[in-house]
Amino acid sequence: MTKEEKQVVSAPESQQSGIKARRVNTKMVPLPSTSIVPERDLGKEPILECRHLGIDFGGLHAVEDFDIAVGRTEIAGLIGPNGAGKTTIFNLLTKVYQPTRGTILLDGQDLNNMSVPKVNQSGIARTFQNIRLFSNLSVEDNVRIGLHNQVKCSMLNGIFRTPQFFKSEKAFHKRALELLDVFDMADLAQVSAGSLPYGAQRRLEIVRALATEPKLLLLDEPAAGMNPSETSDLMDSILKIRDEFQIAIMLIEHDMDLVMGICEGIAVLNYGKIIAKGTPEEIQNNPEVIEAYLGAQADASAEKEA
Amino acid sequence: MEYKMSRSLRSNLITYGIVVLFFVVCEILIATHILSYSLQGQLVPICAYVCMAISLNLVVGISGELSLGHAGFMSIGAFSGVVAAALVGGVAGNEPAILVISMLVGGLLAGVMGFLISIPVMRLHGDYLAIVTLAFGEIIKNILNNLYVGMDESGLHFSMNSESSLHMSQAGKVLLAGPKGAVGVNTIASFIVGILLVLFCLFVALNLINSRSGRAILAVRDNRIAAEACGINSMKYRMMAFVVSAVLAGMAGALYGLNYSSFIPSKFDFNNSIMVLVFVVLGGIGNIRGGMIAAAVLTVLPEALRFLSTYRMLIYSVVLIAVMLISNNEQARMVLRRFKNHFKKSRKKKVAPQVAVAGAGAASAKEDGAND
C-alpha cells in the first residue's frame, strides 16, 4: 500500500524536475495504435510509433501530444495549414530537434538520445522541403554519399588504393546505378546535381534517401514545384518504391490529389496538434478538417471562379 | 563512369606530372649551373611549403574549415623531426633513411597533436573555429619557446626551465634550446626527398578526395544537415580531414627543419600560417594543383626579386593583388577559357557532342521550369 502511494506521489515530482529527468523516463510501453493501419500491416508491430511527442520553442508549444502509428508498408500523409508544425515533426523524428516530451519508437526501438546520423542508420531517411543536394557533386556521387553506410571502405584503404577499395567502388557504382534506375535517371549519373531541373533534383533527393536503406522514408513536400504530369509520375514512383522496397513512407504535401490518391492513412495537424486521423474519405468528410484546412482551399477556388 | 574515372585520373596524372617536370627542370638547371646558389637553397623550402599548401587545402578547401594555426603543426613536425634525426643519427648512417624516419616521426606527432586539438576545435564552426586554431597555433609556438631538449648517452632529457636543468653528462648535446630553437642541426634534407614528399602528399590528398571518406568530407562541407541525414557522422569526417592535414604538415615541417642548421620557434608564427593560407587562396580554395603552384611561386618570389632590393616586397604585393584581380575578373576569365577551349578542342572532339546534348537538355528543362 505504502509502496503504491510512493509511486503515485513520485510520478508528478519527476515530471516537475526538468527536462533531463523526463527524458530518462521517456521509454514507454507501446499501446495499441489509435490510428488506422492498413489491413495487411495489422498483425505486425508498427514501423513508427510516436507517443505524446512534443516540443516547445520557448513558451510556444510547437507540437503537442503527437500520437501516431505507421504500418510497416503504409503510405501515410501529414497535412495541415502552413505553420501547423509538419516539418517540425519530421525534424523531431530525425532528431534534428530534440523532443521536449514523448517517445519515438522505430520498429520498437527507442530513438531517445540518438544523434541525426544514428537515427538514419537505424532506419529513417528523409528529404527536405528546400532541396539539400550536394550540388557541386555529380548525381552518382550524391547517391554514393547516401550509400555511405551500406558499403564500407576505411580511410587507409582509400588512400593506399588497396584491392578492397576497388571492390567497394565497384559495389558503390553498381548499387548507385540500380537505385537511379528506379527513377530512370541512370543516364544522368555524371551530370552535376546542381544543374538538374527542379523535378529531377527532388527525385534525386528521394533516391539518395533510399540509398540509406531506410525502413521509413519521410518525404517533405515531394511534389512542390512539379506540374500535374510530373506529380502523377511521382505518385506512381512512390507506390513503386513502397512495393519494391517494402518500406513505409510518410509524406507532407499540399497537393490534395496526391495525398488523397496514394495515402492510406492521413493525419491532419493544426497549431501543433492532431485534429483528425483516418482514411482519405474520412478526412475529406471531417467537418473540423474542412474548417481548418480543406475548406479554406475550397473557398479560395470559389473565389477564383468568381 | 569510364569517362569520369579517366577524367579525374587524367587530372591527377597532370598534377603528378607537373611535380616530376619541375624536378627534372631543376636538376637540369643545377647541372648546367644556371640556377644561382641562393635559388638552389630555396628548393627544399619550396617542397616543404608546397606540402603545406596541399595539407592546408585539405582543411580549407576540401573540409571547408578555416584553420589559422597550421604553422603550429609544421613546427611540431620540425622540432620533433630534429630530435628524431639526432636520435636515429647515432644508429643509422644513411642520410635519406634518417630523413624519412624523422619525417614519419614528425608527421606522427603532429597527427597526434592534431587529433587532440581537433576534439575541442571541431565542436565549433566558421569564425569561431578559425580563432581557436589560431590560439592553438600560438600555444604550440609558446610551448616550444620554453622547451629544452638534450641528448646524451643515457637518452633524451627534457626541461621547461633552462639548459642547465637538463642535467646532462659532459658528452650531452643540446638539441632544442628554448627561444633559441633547434641548434646544431645536421642538415640532411635533400631536394629529391622533398620532391618525393610532395608526391606522397599529393598521393594522400588526391586519393583521399576520390574515396568513400573523401566524399563524406565533401558532403559535410557542402551541406552538413543533408550529410548527417544520410547517416554521415560529420564530426568524425571533419576530424579526419584535420588530422590527415596535420600529419602532412608535420612531415613538411620535418623536411623544412632539417634543411637549416638552426631555426627558432617564432619562425612558425601567425604570419607563417597566413602565408600558407595565401598560397591556398591564391591557387584557388579546393584546387590542389593551383595551391601547389602558388606555393612554389610565392616561396621563390622574394628570393628571385632580391636584385630589386628595397622594392621587392612592393613587387610581391603587386603580384598578389594582380592575381586576385585577374582571377576574379570575368573578362580575364573569358580570355583564359577561350584559350583553354582552343587548346582542348582537338582532344575532346569525341566526347564533346554527348556533353553538349546533356547540357542542352538540362538547360532547356530549366527554361521549361522558368516558364511554368
SS (H, E, C) A192-232: EHHHCCHHHHHHHHHHHHHHCCCCEEEEECCCCCCCHHHHH
Closest chain B C-alpha to A220 CA, distance in angstroms: 13
- Phi first, then psi: give them for residue B74, nearest 5 degrees: -60, -40
Residue with cell 548507385: A176
Task: Read off the pLDDT band of B259 (50, 70, 90).
Answer: very high
Nearest in space to A151 (alpha carbons), one of A130, A115, A178? A178
* Residues in a beta bridge with A75: A249
User: Other C-beta atoms within 10 Å of A47: how many?
Assistant: 26
pTM of this prediction?
Answer: 0.84
Specify the range with the lowest mean pLDDT, choosing from A203-207, B90-94, B226-230, B259-263. B90-94
B213 vs A contacts (CB less than 8 Å): 153-155, 158
Mean pLDDT of B4-32: 88
Tens digits of residue pLDDT in B171-220: 888 889 988 999 888 888 999 999 999 999 999 999 999 999 999 999 99
Note whether B358 contacts A: Cβ–Cβ < 8 A: yes
Whether residue B359 is predicted with pLDDT greater than 80 in this model: the reply is: no
- Residue B311, pLDDT > 70, answer yes
List b or e across B41-58, with b for residues whose CB sees 16 or more CB atoms inside 10 angstroms: ebbbbbbbbbbbbbbbbb
pLDDT of residue A53: 92
Residue B106: pLDDT band with limits 50, 70, 90: very high
pLDDT per residue, tens digit, chain A (306 aa), is 444 444 444 444 444 444 444 444 444 444 444 556 666 766 678 899 998 999 999 888 999 999 998 988 999 999 999 889 999 999 999 999 999 999 999 998 899 889 999 999 999 999 999 999 999 999 999 999 999 999 999 999 999 999 999 999 999 999 999 999 988 899 999 999 999 998 899 999 999 999 999 999 999 999 988 889 989 999 999 999 999 999 999 999 999 999 999 999 999 999 999 988 888 888 888 888 888 887 655 554 544 444
B310 pLDDT band, cuts 50/70/90, is confident
Residue pair B241/B221 in contact (Cβ under 8 Å)? The answer is: no
Q: Which residues, including other chains, have CB under 8 Å from residue A297's CB and lie 6 or more apart? A: A256
Of B92, B80, B65, B368, the residue nearest B245 (C-alpha):
B65
DSSP H or E segment with residue A269: strand A265-270
**Beta strands at A75-79 and A248-252: parallel, antiparallel or unpaired:** parallel
**Sign of the C-alpha dihedral, residues B120, B126, B128, B130?**
positive
A173 and chain B in contact, CB less than 8 A = yes
State yes or no: pLDDT of B354 exceeds 60. Answer: no
Distance from CA of A207 to the nearest CA of B (A): 11
Strands across the sheet containing A273-278: A124-126, A216-220, A248-252, A75-79, A265-270, A273-278
pLDDT in tens, B164-179: 888 888 888 888 998 8
Check: CB of residue B65 under 8 Å from CB of residue B238. Answer: yes
Q: Which of B232, B359, B369 sits opposite A148 (nearest CB)?
A: B232
User: What pLDDT does residue B157 have?
Assistant: 87
Q: Which residue has the cell 613536425?
A: B77
Q: Cα–Cα distance between B53 and B327 in angstroms, integer?
A: 19
Which among A42, A218, A202 is positioned nearest to A124, based on CA atoms?
A: A218
Nearest to A145 among B204, B219, B233 (CB): B219
Q: Does B211 touch chain A (CB under 8 A)?
A: yes
> Is 50 exceeded by the pLDDT of residue B365?
no
Contacts of B359 in chain A (CB under 8 A): 195
Residues from chain A that touch B1, judged by Cβ atoms under 8 A, are 140, 173, 189-190
Q: Which residues of A touch B231 (CB under 8 A)?
A: 117, 120-121, 148-149, 212
**A116 contacts chain B (CB < 8 A):** yes
Query: Which DSSP state fits A218?
Result: E
> A75-79 and A265-270: which strand pairing?
parallel
Answer whether residue B351 shows pLDDT above 80.
no
B237 contacts on A by Cβ (under 8 Å): none
**Cell 648517452 appears where?**
B153
Mutant choice from A95, A115, A116, A129 vs B, greatest count of B C-beta within 10 A: A116
| SS3 at position B9 | helix
**B63 compared with B303, residue with greater pLDDT:** B63
- Judging contacts by C-beta atoms under 8 Å, the chain A residues touching residue B358 are 188, 191
Contact A126 B229 (CB under 8 A): yes
Query: pLDDT higher for B67 or B163?
Result: B67
From A9-18, B18-27, B36-45, B281-290, the region with the lowest mean pLDDT: A9-18
B/e letters for B116-131, b = 16+ CB within 10 Å, e = fewer, are ebbeebbeeeeeebbe
Which of B230, B234, B235 to mutate to test binding with chain A, by most A CBs within 10 Å of its CB? B230
The grid coordinates listed for B9 are: 585520373
Pairing of strands A216-220, A124-126: parallel
Of the candidates B208, B233, B365, the beta carbon closest to that of A158 is on B208
Cα gap A148→A176, rounded to integer Å: 11
CB contact under 8 A, B230 and A145: yes
Rounded Cα distance, A169 and A152, in Å? 10
Q: Are B69 and B137 in contact (CB under 8 A)?
A: yes
Q: How far apart are CA B283 and CA B324, in angstroms?
A: 10
Query: What whole-number distance in Å separates Cα of residue B271 and Cα of residue B222?
Result: 29
- At B344, is the pLDDT very low, low, confident or very high (cuts 50, 70, 90)? low
**pLDDT higher at B312 or B34:** B34
Chain B closest CA to A128's CA: distance in Å? 8
CA pair distance A159, A167, nearest whole angstrom: 14
Q: What is the DSSP letter of A77?
A: E
B227 to chain A, any CB pair closer than 8 A? The answer is yes
Q: Measure in Å the smallest separation between the Cα of A160 and chain B Cα atoms.
A: 7
Say yes or no to pLDDT of B303 above 90: no
Dist CA A48 CA A247 (whole Å)? 11
What does the mean pLDDT of chain B come to?
A: 86
Looking at residue B162, what is its pLDDT? 84
Question: Is the confidence at residue B112, as pLDDT, over 90?
Answer: yes
Which residues of chain A have a CB within 8 Å of the CB of B4?
Answer: 138, 140, 190
User: What is the C-alpha separation between A24 and A6, in angstroms, rounded?
Assistant: 19
Residues 190-249 of A with CB under 8 A from B: 190-191, 195-200, 208-209, 211-212, 225, 227
Give the model's pLDDT for residue B321. Answer: 85
Angle value at C-alpha A128, between A275 and A262, nearest 5 degrees: 55
- Looking at residue B316, its pLDDT comes to 79
Q: What integer pLDDT is reported at residue A285 of this predicted model?
A: 87
Nearest to A69 by CA among A98, A108, A100, A13: A108
Contact B231 A140 (CB under 8 A): no
Nearest to B365 among A149, A154, A197 (CB): A197
